[in-house]
Chains A and B, each alone.
Chain A
Amino acid sequence: MSSLLEVRDLTVCHGQLEAVRGVNLSVTSGEVLGIIGANGAGKSTLLRTIAGLHRPSAGNIVFDGVDITRMPPDRRVSAGIVLVPEGRRLFGSLNVEENLLVGCYRARTGPWTMDRVFGLFPWMVTRRRQPASQLSGGEQQAVAISRALLANPRLLMLDEPSLGLAPLPLQRIYAVLPELVSSGLGVLLVEQDVRHAMRVAARVECLLEGRQTLAGAPADLDFQQIEAAYFGIARSNGS
């Protein structure tokens, strides 16, 4: 199967700092690729660059065979790339329904409609007029993911969906993933919490200081390998 997203030799700088260094990865439709790594490993920068918020200093991003490296972020949404940003980032002065409608602004045609979202999260129906700022963390994450789904993306990027969530709401969020993937959506999942990523992803990549240190299917990787790749222990022991 040809890949939906292809990232080649991507390097992204924040001023002097190289946050992402020569990263290569690909995501195919109907697959979850997990990206794990410690704080500051460059995971968020990688996703934000794919979404178009940062300009890479080198490398290419190819989406569905088209080079989109220089495409502005709003056009990438129309092309089918949607990012659920870290910290959920709902529009606080808009109510729940309006937040969802923002997702429909540049929506492609596809399976996701307001009714289908309300089917997935029935509590939203009765609380649609409530300001988004009054929701709990888990509810906010559900709205943020629904808002992204309403754009009918082909590639959904989730940046730390587990951050700040209690176990139960977190389970609910992750329970939705398999259904999404079975409909042919490609998912790029960034997690600091390795266990979540290992459970849902078909393959994981580990980043350390902007570099890829490990790649493979969760079943093929053992705990020591991951620990070494995650914290860079092997390297510091060797030096």
Chain B
Amino acid sequence: MTVVNALVQGILLGGLFALFACGLSLMFGVMDVINLAHGDVAVAAVYLAVVLIPASHIPAIWIFVLVVPVFMVGGYILQRLLIQQSLDSGAITTLLVTFGLSVVLENGLLEAFTANSQSLNIGSLVSGSFQISNQIYIPYLSLIILGAALVALTALEIFLARSRTGRMVRALADDRETAQLMGANYRHLFGVAAGLAFGTVALAGLALGMYTSVSPTTGPSYLLYGFAAVVIGGLGSLWGTLAGGMVLGVASTLGALVDPDFGSMLPYLVFLAVLAFRPRGLFPKKAAL
């Protein structure tokens, strides 16, 4: 029974990992940018919420209504002003620039908010749960986070599959030059993709801030989880990323059954195994032309 419980909790946790990782997958899939500041962006979203919640009198659980749009616009602007410049001067430069951005964000947050950890206070919701059998309790918050992750991933998938802009973003990911020949302004569309990536990671950050506490320096450790989820799922596939997140979640709860420390190690062993035996991930994207 404890194993079933661990599976259920792992799947619930997987939603958070997937939400965190989908922006990473999107930016890499569309413009080959590995955003090393991804984790710090999530942490920054928590700190923005910490500032905004008392000022706006919005209940903490609804604060994403304000924070996510700010990060979407911020992502677009950052892409146009900074990341695009580094893309133009070569792939390695984007690594250096986003690493720099990560350092700046971490130290900026340390300077402004000290090293104390912060969490978002959502009142009784944090401990509320319902029981589905003797030993299996489902926390409301985990269910809400999984629901938010599913809604965000589905919305992203529909946007990419059905909308004019989304179709053009996919065309750009396939072949940037030809997309330009068909009228794509790639700088603008890369900005749109970055805006979506920053929006989803801000949402993931808020979920993280409600689930546990974060400090200015915790970003990079979540970045690692994000990478693992993307690679396990298969690059460039959103549903693969969801599956990757769930695999990570289940691995960490199952591992924790054996030993709490093993719970943080097993996901990386799975990651290593996938890299060794299925280097293209569990659900690789179909090969391009």
Contacts and interface: CB of A to CB of B under 8 A. Distances in A.
Interface of A: 51-53, 72-74, 77-78, 82-83, 85, 89-94, 98, 101-103, 105-106, 131-133, 147-148, 151
B283 to A, nearest CB: 14
Nearest to B185: A74
Contacts of B114: none
Chain B interface main SS type: helix
B167 A102 contact: yes
Contact of B181 (A85, A94, A98): A85
B184 A105 contact: yes
Contacts of A89: 175, 177-178, 289
A132 B179 contact: no
B174 A94 contact: yes
A101 B285 CA distance: 22
Chain B's interface size range is 20 to 34
Given A93-B170, A93-B285, A133-B289, A105 B164 contact: yes
B179 A102 contact: yes
Given A92-B288, A93-B170, A151 B183 contact: yes
B103 interface: no
B3 to A, nearest CB: 39
Nearest to A157: B181
A91 B231 CA distance: 23
B288 A106 contact: no
A122 B255 CA distance: 57
Interface in B252-289: 285-289
A74 B184 contact: yes
A103 B174 contact: no
A93 B174 contact: yes
A96 to B, nearest CB: 13
B182 interface: yes
A53 B167 contact: no
A94 B164 CA distance: 13
Interface hub of B178, B185, B186, B285 (most chain A Cβ within 10 A):
B178
Contacts of B186: 74
A12 B182 CA distance: 22
Chain A interface main SS type: mixed
B288 A147 contact: no
Contacts of A103: 182
Rank and list the top 3 A-B pairs by shortest CB-CB distance, nearest first.
A106-B183, A92-B289, A77-B183
B174 A91 contact: yes
Contacts of B164: 101, 105
Given A94-B170, A94-B171, A105-B168, A77 B181 contact: yes
A82 B181 CA distance: 7
A54 to B, nearest CB: 11
Interface hub of A90, A101, A105, A147 (most chain B Cβ within 10 A):
A105
A133 B288 contact: yes
Nearest to A91: B174
Interface in B208-252: none
A148 B287 CA distance: 24
Contacts of B286: 92-93, 131, 133
Interface string B165-206: 001101101110111111111100000000000000000000
Interface in B14-31: none
Contacts of B178: 85, 89, 91
Contacts of B170: 91, 93-94, 98
Contact of A53 (B181, B183, B288): B181
18 contacts: A77-B181, A82-B182, A83-B181, A85-B177, A89-B289, A91-B174, A91-B179, A92-B287, A92-B289, A93-B170, A94-B170, A94-B174, A98-B167, A98-B170, A101-B167, A102-B168, A106-B183, A147-B182
Contact of A132 (B167, B183, B287, B289): B289
A224 B122 CA distance: 85
Contacts of B179: 91, 102
A52 B185 CA distance: 12
Nearest to A88: B289
Interface hub of A72, A74, A147 (most chain B Cβ within 10 A):
A74
Given A73-B180, A74-B180, A151-B183, 5 more contacts: A91-B171, A92-B288, A92-B289, A94-B170, A98-B170
